Structure 1
Amino acid sequence: MTHFSDLIHADTGTALISEWITGTPERSHAVADAVIDEWAAGEKPSARLAQHMFLSTDGASLLFYAQWTSDEDHLAWARAHRSEMVSRIDTLVPGIERPGLNRTRLHSSLVHDAGPHPGVFVVTTTVADEVEATVRPAPGLLAAHIHLTTDGQPTTDGGRAVIVTEWTDAASHDAAAATHATGALGFKRYTLHHSFPNGVAQRASSGT
Structure 2
Amino acid sequence: MTRIASLQHPDTGITFISRWITGSAERTRAAADALLEVSAADAPEVQLATHVFEDVDGAGLFIYGQWTSAEDHLAFVREGRSERVARIDARVPGIERPGLERTHLYRSAVVGADGEADLFVVTGHDTGGGPGEQRAWADARAAALADAGHEGLLAAHFHLTVDGERAVEVAEWSAAAGEADLEAAHGPRAPHSRYRFYGPARA
Does the 8 A contact of 1:17 with 1:103 survive in 2?
yes
Q: Give the direction of change, closer, same or farther, for the CA distance of 1:106–1:133 in structure 2 (3 Å limit).
A: closer
1:16 partner letter: F
Alpha-carbon shift at residue 65 of structure 1 (Å): 0.6
Q: Counterpart in 2 of 1:3?
A: 3
Q: How many residue pairs were aligned?
A: 190
Alpha-carbon shift at residue 40 of structure 1 (Å): 2.8
Q: Counterpart in 2 of 1:66?
A: 65
Q: Counterpart in 2 of 1:30?
A: 30
Give the TM-score taking structure 2 as reference length: 0.85
Please list, as runs of the form range in 1=range in 2, the aligned pairs for 1:65-84 lying within 5 A after superposition: 65-84=64-83
Please list, as runs of the form range in 1=range in 2, the aligned pairs for 1:146-165 lying within 5 A after superposition: 146-151=158-163, 153=164, 159-165=165-171
Distance in 1 of aligned mates of 2:137 and 2:188: 5
For structure 2, list consecutive stretches of 5 or more residues without a partner in the other structure.
128-135
Between the two proteins, what is the percent identity of the paired residues? 46
Please list, as runs of the form range in 1=range in 2, the aligned pairs for 1:124-203 lying within 5 A after superposition: 124-128=123-127, 131=138, 132-133=140-141, 136-137=145-146, 138-151=150-163, 153=164, 159-169=165-175, 172=177, 174-179=179-184, 185-198=190-203
Does the 8 A contact of 1:111 with 1:143 survive in 2?
yes
Distance in 1 of aligned mates of 2:189 and 2:110: 20
Q: Counterpart in 2 of 1:51?
A: 50
Runs of 4+ with deviation above 6 angstroms: none
The answer to whether 1:117 aligns with 2:131 is no
Q: Counterpart in 2 of 1:203?
A: none
Q: Deviations over 1:163-182 (max 9, x none)?
A: 1010013x726213433575
Give the TM-score taking structure 1 as reference length: 0.83
Distance in 2 of aligned mates of 1:182 and 1:112: 19
Q: Give the direction of change, closer, same or farther, for the CA distance of 1:180–1:31 in structure 2 (3 Å limit).
A: closer
